[in-house]
Each structure stands twice: as structure tokens, then as C-alpha cells.
Amino acid sequence: MDGRTGTMNAPEQGDPAGRVTLDLVLVSDPGWPTDIAHRLKAELTGLLSGVRVDVDWRVSVNSSALALAAQGDSPSMVQALTERLHDRTWDLALFVTDLPYRANARPVVLMVSRPERVGLVSLPSLGWFRVTRRARDAALYAVSELLAAAAEPTSAQEDVQRPGGTERYLVLPGRSGRLRLLTGMVRANRPWLLFTGLSRVLAVVFATASFGLLSSDVWNVSRHFGPGRACGLTFLSVTAVVAWLVIDHELWERPRGRPARHQARLYNLATVVTLYLGIAFLYAVLYVLIALTALFLLAPGTLGPVLGHEPGAAYYLSLAWFITSMGTVGGALGAGLEDDQVVRQAAYGERQRLGQRQDTTWPDNGGQGP
């Protein structure tokens, strides 16, 4: 289809079988959605032949973020997407995004607009695991719908149509759907990458831990520190860093209006979970490093006179656990030294605004948008 004329491609001349060539454009947000879109392109080229046997498919990827204002609701997204492709030749378009959408307060997996031949796949609603496979299945279903083929939604999802609208939706039902949306949002944040961006926190924690390794008072206290207290201190130390990151870098969303507040709670929860996972990974790496350092620096002969006995492997692990927790509390100070943009990548709403470079107001749209 030409984006300006809205006409389907005609059969190629000289084709005795009357075959047509259709162009499917995968428009994706920059970053992770673009990675998924390229994987979809590789798989869909062959799989789409099963949707229409008389069609030769051309699949392309266009990494292009839509303006934040266009993401307020699905009709605005459809309009913005068709305008974005006005200078290209295309027949079907599918927008792959890492932003959550809702229809009737339910997480949207897939949206299709038949009149415009445009669809949307919301990656967060696909959950944490098997995202590429689920995105591929959603894309195939979207193409079938856009070609008016007979296709039924799976039993794990519900098909809804907003009254007065031309869009059709596949949504996730119930609490399990909301939980899958949350895990998908955290997955989209890629919390394991937070570790690489917190170099200053890592340096402060390791420096604090190094002083602890040389303190005989720490050696004595750690041997009386049971597993219960150790777990409690671990949680408190990780929470201290998370709280400091949220406060110091202003990651907490404070919108106005009930629909915006509902969305902000979801964004804030995804941000906090992302930070917890990222800091927990940082904690685990530090624990291993400190345990190895303790084994290398603190010989049993050095610890024996202070402890009154030769330390075993269990003591070294307990000492490393205690020192890692104490060092992580000190790491909260280093959290304030981190580059603001690096930390804000973990905040869902802030990362969205940074990517679009648009206004930062929350759309009060009745809970129908992202």
C-alpha cells in the first residue's frame, strides 16, 4: 500500500499465478523493541507464506519512536504511525513497542485497526519468557486479522472491541494478566544492565568492604551474626540503595488524575522491582568478590588468635556476607554520584520521556493508553 493513496499493490505483470507482493513494515521503538523486530523479520519472511499462499512477502524494519503525545491512546498511535509512513510504500504496518497499553483497564497484547491496516504489539504484555516466540505469534495473528482471515484468539487471552472504535484488541484477563504485564515491563527495563551502569556504587561498596576486612571488630561481630539477622541486613542494605536511587534521582512518578495515578503506580512498581533486581545482582557479584578477597588476604593464622579457633569455610562465607551488607549500605552514598541518565533508564516513565524527548505530562485518557 502507498501510505498516501491507501491502495494495495497490484499483481506483478507476467505472473501467471496472479501472485501479489505485499510489504509488511515493522515499526519499532529504539532499543529492545528494535532487536525483537529484527528477529521477527527473520522468522516472519518464511512463516507468512502460510497466511496467504498467493502472496510474496517483503518484511522490513523501521526503528522510529513515536512522539509521546501520539502514545496517549491507540487511535492517536494509529494516526501517527500512518503519517510516519506516508512517504513509504507499504501494505501492512505493525508497531512493536515496549510501552504498556490498556483497553477497558486490561493489558493489551495486540491491537489491530483493519481500516488503516495497522497493528500494535505491546511487548510488556508478553511477559518475561519466550518474548520473541509470543511476539511472532501475535504478529502472525495481526497479519491474519489485517487480511480479514479467519483467526480466533487463544484461550489465554480475550478479544475485546472498544465501543465506537474501529480497533480490535487481544487483552490479558484478570490478575494473572496484570502480573504478566508487570514482569514484562521489568523485562523490558533489562535490570541486569543496571549493574554495568552503577560503577561508582560498586567502587564505594568495595572500598567500604575492604576496610571491613581489616577490622578485628568486624571479625568478631560477624561470627555472632546468624542467618536470620544476615538476611534482614541484606534486605535493608539493598533497600537503602534502592530508596536512595529513587529519591536522589527523582524516579517517582507523581501524576494528576485518577487514570494517570493508576498508570503511575504501575510504572513506579516496575521501576522499584527493576532496581531491586539490579541491586540484588550487584550484591551477589560483590559477595563473591569479597569472599574471594577474604580467603586471599585473611589467612587462618591471622584470624585464629582473634576468634580463639581456626576459621573454617563457613566462617569466611559468613564474614563475606556481613561485610557485603555493611558495604552495600555505604554504597547508598555512591548511588548519589551516579550519572543521572544512567539511573533513569531503570524508571519506566522517565525512560519513555527521555526516549521521545517530548512533554512530560501524563495523558488523562480514561485509562485507555499507555
pLDDT of residue 121: 92
pLDDT tier at 40 (50, 70, 90 boundaries)?
A: very high
The SS3 of residue 178 is helix
Question: Which residues make Cβ contacts (< 8 Å) with residue 19, sequence separation at least 6?
Answer: 11, 12, 54, 55, 56
SS3 255: coil
pLDDT at 155: 40
Residue 59, strand partner residues: 24
pLDDT band per the 50, 70, 90 thresholds, residue 20: confident
Q: How many whole angstroms separate alpha carbon 196 and alpha carbon 170?
A: 36
Span 131-158, average pLDDT: 72
Q: What is the per-residue DSSP string for 6-18?
A: --PPPPPTT-TT-
Least confident of 83-87, 93-97, 121-125: 83-87
Residue 42: how many other CB atoms lie within 10 Å: 11
364 — pLDDT class (breaks 50, 70, 90): very low
CB 169 within 8 A of CB 159: yes
Phi and psi dihedrals of 346, rounded to 5? -80, -15
- Among 122, 164, 169, which Cα is nearest to 370's? 122
CA-wise closest residue to 265 among 255, 276, 279, 250: 255
Calculate mean pLDDT across residues 339-357: 58
Q: Which pLDDT band holds residue 37 (cuts at 50, 70, 90)? A: very high
Per-residue pLDDT of 220-242, as tens digits, reads 888 777 788 888 989 988 898 88
Listed in order, strand segments (DSSP E) in the chain are 20-28, 55-63, 92-97, 102-103, 106-113, 118-122, 158-161, 167-171
pTM, entire model: 0.78
Q: How far apart are CA 194 and CA 276, in angstroms?
A: 10
